[in-house]
Structure 1
Amino acid sequence: MVKGNKETTDAPRIRPVPAVSRAIAILRLLGKTRIPMGVNAIAHALNIVPSTCLHILRALTEEKLISFDSTSKHYRLGAGMLTLARSAIESNVFPVLVQPALDRLSTQWGVTAIGVDASDPDQMVVVALSRSNLPFRLHVDVGSVFPSLLSATGRLVAAFGDQPESELKKRFQKLRWDKPLDYKIWQKEVEFAKKNRYSIDKNTYIAGITIVAVPVLTPNGKITHTIVCASLMDALNKSQLVKLTNEMQAQAHKVADHLFT
């Protein structure tokens, strides 16, 4: 675009495609509820005109992404989603690279060890997981999705991401914690994470739980993933936490070397 004598370039605008957005919303709803739903229930939940909803459901059924029970007249996710999920996993080498490290960490330290994809500025996704044989179990599964700035990983996303402070504050205010943090305190913890390349959430996101996270960084310092370990708050003393963090950082460096070299 030319304005006066100065040439400028506008960023391309992303135009919404309602049918696509609604189809994705339907898939997410069925995945979240995990129970079959009828067309009217789906349309009401997503504020879609029932006739429009039905057309989208039929298209998704044709593509095997959802399945239809002719007896109950209900829809659920279909086998085609498994194919897509398998392809996504196979094309993402991080879970394969990090899984042995997670298994070692969980066995040695009695923690739940987690591999997290933190590349999306809006959300983080659990892509790998290893649980210890101890009674402690964190309620998280592969595929679990959380706001990007939550817990220990969130501090690292803020520290090594490129979101402006105004956006960080806006997103922070929407987070839910067992024991809410003041934004200024959280900012200091983000600065600590930036300097030391790890973050600890103790008794704030989940009461009684200590969560340690270290970043996996690109050569230019951009965060893509994190390695996370969670345990009962008093299960590890200060010295043990230091040793655990050092080991996690070593594993993160190894994974980064394989990912980016």
Structure 2
Amino acid sequence: MTNELTTSASATPRVRAVPAVTRALAILRLLGRSRTPLGVKAIARELGLVPSTALHILRALVAEGVVRVDAGTKQYSLGVGMLSLARAVLENSGFTSLVQPDLDLLSARHGVTAIGLELIGLEHMVVVALSRSRTPIRLHVDVGSRFPALISATGRCVAAFGAHPPAEVKKRFRLLQWQNAPAWETWCKEVEVVRRQGYSIDRGNYIGGVTVVAVPVPTSRPTLSHSIAAVGLSDQLERAAAVALARDMQKAAATVASQLS
């Protein structure tokens, strides 16, 4: 079909929510997004919580060291305990250590910023490994950066190989913010092309003047868990150069997948 996505996998099972855990994670994400510390009332208002509930959760998070509170202002921010958790994730991730040498090679050979991504369902993608180019002009991204799961080239890979319910994909696609947004019907056709060719190229849709190339890391599981992406200026990555880059990325992804398995 030209305007609808298809999938061969059944819908993922429903998970029973645990309100206290869900609220604690929502608070951590909010503090992570905020450039300044926040007070209890601001946190409660933003997340739709009763202030007393927010306060109880914040006190528990402070006790665990993942949130800190300024004794003078009574405002909250992420604590240094988050650093040890993040470090443990990266150190214990086989993908992160395995993909890094390939990212370095891709970056050096093609003059791009090469990125290893962990995919969290249809929620978001997280940068877990990174190799910056040595070119005078380069795009900035950090380990730990998060992006919507369906955005840009990697998002097309998620839609093509992630085996997610089409209705949910369409719902989340409508919420994406692009600089030059593709129409839903156009995007669906592009996803089908990605499914056939095994790589995706976003030329200026996500960010004008920027080309993003992405490939899935093959897996025996029905869902896609990792991807390799590369980012460069569109003038640098013309069609032939982008395809050559994608081919090298596919080889790297296959190598990493074989080592993971």
SS in 2 for 1:118: strand
- In the alignment, which residue of structure 2 is the partner of 1:3? none
- In the alignment, which residue of structure 2 is the partner of 1:182? 183
- In the alignment, which residue of structure 2 is the partner of 1:237? 238
Identity %: 54
Q: By how many angstroms is 1:191 displaced? A: 1.0
- The residue correspondences of 1:51-200 to structure 2 (distance < 5 A) are 51-200=52-201
- The residue correspondences of 1:205-216 to structure 2 (distance < 5 A) are 205-216=206-217
- Residue identity opposite 1:182 in structure 2: A
- In the alignment, which residue of structure 1 is the partner of 2:203? 202
- In the alignment, which residue of structure 1 is the partner of 2:32? 31
| Structure 2 gaps, min length 5 | 1-11
Q: CA 1:85 to 1:110, structure 2 compared with 1: closer, same or farther past 3 Å? A: same
- In the alignment, which residue of structure 2 is the partner of 1:225? 226
- Residue identity opposite 1:256 in structure 2: A
Q: CA 1:12 to 1:134, structure 2 compared with 1: closer, same or farther past 3 Å? A: closer
Q: By how many angstroms is 1:33 displaced? A: 0.5
Q: What is the distance in 2 between the residues matched to 1:222 and 1:57? A: 34
SS in 2 for 1:227: strand
Q: What is the distance in 2 between the residues matched to 1:13 and 1:120? A: 13
1:177-196 C-alpha deviation (Å, 9 max, x unpaired):
11111112111111111111
- In the alignment, which residue of structure 1 is the partner of 2:254? 253
Is 1:136–1:231's contact at 8 Å kept on the other side of the alignment?
no
Q: What is the distance in 2 between the residues matched to 1:169 and 1:41? A: 32
Q: By how many angstroms is 1:198 displaced? A: 0.3
1:13-72 C-alpha deviation (Å, 9 max, x unpaired):
644332222211111111111422222222222222222222111111111111122122
SS in 2 for 1:149: coil
Larger Rg over CA atoms: 1
Q: By how many angstroms is 1:223 displaced? A: 2.4
Compute the RMSD of aligned alpha carbons.
1.9
Q: By how many angstroms is 1:220 displaced? A: 5.7
Higher relative contact order (CA 8 A, sep 6+): 2
Is 2:163–2:222's contact at 8 Å kept on the other side of the alignment?
no
Query: How many residues were matched structurally?
Result: 250
TM-score (norm. length: structure 2): 0.89
Is 2:104–2:131's contact at 8 Å kept on the other side of the alignment?
yes
